[in-house]
Amino acid sequence: MTAQRLRTSILLLFTVCLPSQGEVQVAEKSGGWRLASESSPYLRLHADNPVEWYPWGEEAFEKARRENKPLFISIGYFTCHWCHVMARESFSNPEIAQQLNDSFVAIKIDREQRPDLDAAYLQYVTLTRGRGGWPLSVWALPNGDPFVGGTYFPPDETRGQPGMKQLLARLSMAWKDDEAAIRATAAQAVETLKKLGDSAQPLKALTPAPLSEARQQYASDFDEIQGGFGMAPKFPQPARLMFLLQDGPQASADMALLTLDRMIAGGIHDLLGGGFHRYSTDFEWRVPHFEKMLYDQALIARACLYAYRRSGKVHYADTARDILDFTLAEMRDSLGGFHAALSADSPVPGATQGHMEEGAYYTWSWRQLQEAIDDATLREWVAARYGLRERGNAVSDPLDEMQGKNVLYRALDTPELARKFKVDLLTANQRSTEGDRLLRAARSKRPPVPVDDKVIAAWNGYMITTLAMAADLLDEPRYLEAGEETADFVLHNLFDEERAVLYRDWRAGVTGVPGFSEDYAAVAEGLLALYKQTGKRRWLDAAHTLVDLQLQRFWDPDHAGFFSVPVTTELWVRGKQAMDGATLAANGISLHVLLQLGDLTGQQAYRHHAWQTAAWEAAQLQDAAAAMPYSLMVWPALIELNPD
């Protein structure tokens, strides 16, 4: 069945008549209490919902089979703003909760803990709706096969968008009236998804063509004024920046350097506290979504280190240091690992207890600025420096959620401020320092940003690699020490040596789910980076162990490359990740690791696996080489391994 026919059959499910409400069924306990003991902080947030949530697992499936109810699967993550909105509007709504509890078995999933489930259902929603995002909402058969999906739904129908109340009623009636048709739709969807998931046959030889094709694509998408690629919203895309910064042509480096310059000066960069927010809602990098993700800190800092190495300009080194120092201070677990994220939403200062808004910790009203800085002259200086206005400067926010608020961005640099206010550079620097001190003092009194304190193996692997690189390029031994402490934490707490399992996540002494291919690869890359800096054999041995386990459990013997999940996957397809996104593709990281391990051990098999993986990637992304920049970073070395 084609994707178009599949979409058509699914649309029919939205058009059946509205039913009357069914009778309330009484649970042993009410609400989402089953999530209270989960390791994921995101799941735990929903434990007090009136929705009778289940975690993903056999208990939910068995209930759905026994009562012959479809599943409602909600996928989100701790720092997702619209996930919190939907939780407030719908999952805390008694009427909607009753509909879900009566007619469905509700499952809540943390996409960061289960990237495999998220990728599978996101592919379905993107295929059938034309776009995807979070919160991800999917209705499925009791075995998990999807038949309807979408993203955020308001509680009631709004401007043509289906509301949860109406949608749940329609789907409940459709299940009662024509369950067979729904099961047929789900079967067709799964069959289509299986075909889309088929692997390409690997190429016989690698060529430089993907490099030139990627350069052309990046140049075509590049914003020559504000940097970045494409229009709003703009994402940092650090893998792309790293590729461009090590690529030969100066034009490649120039694109990355301009992008970093604009990002560093923009509101996406927390100019008071350090670190970077998730992405910019506008094309000027000024109005971000305010979550701070560990992977962004690790990868943007690494891109800045590449920029410093390429250009020699100190402000890139300073920015990398700024990011790493923020991360060490604000995102580190007391035992040595790094927490996953800081939330976009935080309590509003002075508001009713529990009321949260996106960016509340980071944004400034004019009144807040006046309260923070009494001196009118200094306040005028700070306003000019950061582009602050009485009516707010977040005018480019497409969702209009920042009405009357200011986001700090670098509107004028120090020489420009000195000229504007007719002072010397020493005075200018003193004023800026004092203004920042007062702003920080005022901000520190606000309610703190909630922390997603789970520790994710792959993201900690990213940070270990970056810390090792920073220690070398910045000549800062403290970063190497921090990297080694993190590696010790991961190996001690997330790796079960007896079972030979690396876990995906850990929180408060409890491991979550077994790790995925990206976890093994990213941690191994970090361990190899430490070995290169320290010469300590234990890091090499641990990396060797993880890579061998990854090959054993995730390697595709038919088409090469690494599956994301082991053969025991619960879903219809074993995905293979080739495209870099917000995080790095498992197969791209694996190329780096296998080549390094081959060089360090002299074992040709590792190099051969690297070449085979690249040959599969090149075939899989034959018309989209720009999607795998992290792989392209080692492409020249892979070409040299072509068979004679």
Check pLDDT > 80 for residue 445. yes
Check pLDDT > 50 for residue 27. no
Q: What is the pLDDT of residue 11?
A: 46
Q: What is the pLDDT of residue 398?
A: 52
Check pLDDT > 90 for residue 25. no
User: Considering the entire predicted model, what is its pTM?
Assistant: 0.93
CA distance 136 to 107: 12
Check pLDDT > 50 for residue 19. no
The one-letter amino acid code at 158 reads T
Question: In the structure, what pLDDT confidence band is assigned to residue 36 with cuts at 50, 70 and 90?
Answer: very high
The residue among 191 and 5 whose pLDDT is bigger is 191
Check pLDDT > 60 for residue 150. yes
CA distance 331 to 329: 6
- Enumerate domains of the chain plus CATH numbers: 3-196 (3.40.30.10), 210-270+280-296+343-452 (no CATH)
Q: What is the pLDDT of residue 456?
A: 98
Q: What is the pLDDT of residues 310-324, one digit of tens each?
A: 999 999 999 999 999
3-state SS record for 411-434: CCCHHHHHHHHCCCHHHHHHHHHH
Report the range of poorest mean pLDDT among 161-175, 348-362, 524-538: 348-362
Q: What is the pLDDT of residues 543-560, one digit of tens each?
A: 999 999 999 999 999 999
Q: What is the pLDDT of residue 400?
A: 62
Strands, E, within 304-392: which ranges? 341-342, 345-347, 356-358
What average pLDDT does the segment 150-170 reach? 91
Q: What is the pLDDT of residue 403?
A: 84
Check pLDDT > 80 for residue 16. no
What average pLDDT does the segment 230-254 reach? 96
Check pLDDT > 90 for residue 349. no
DSSP-H helix ranges across 444-508: 457-473, 477-493
Instruction: Report whether 340 contacts 78 (CB < 8 A).
Output: yes
Mean pLDDT of the chain: 92
Q: What is the pLDDT of residue 159?
A: 76
Angle at which helix 414-421 crosses helix 425-443, to 10 degrees, equals 110
Q: What is the pLDDT of residues 272-281, one digit of tens each?
A: 999 999 999 9
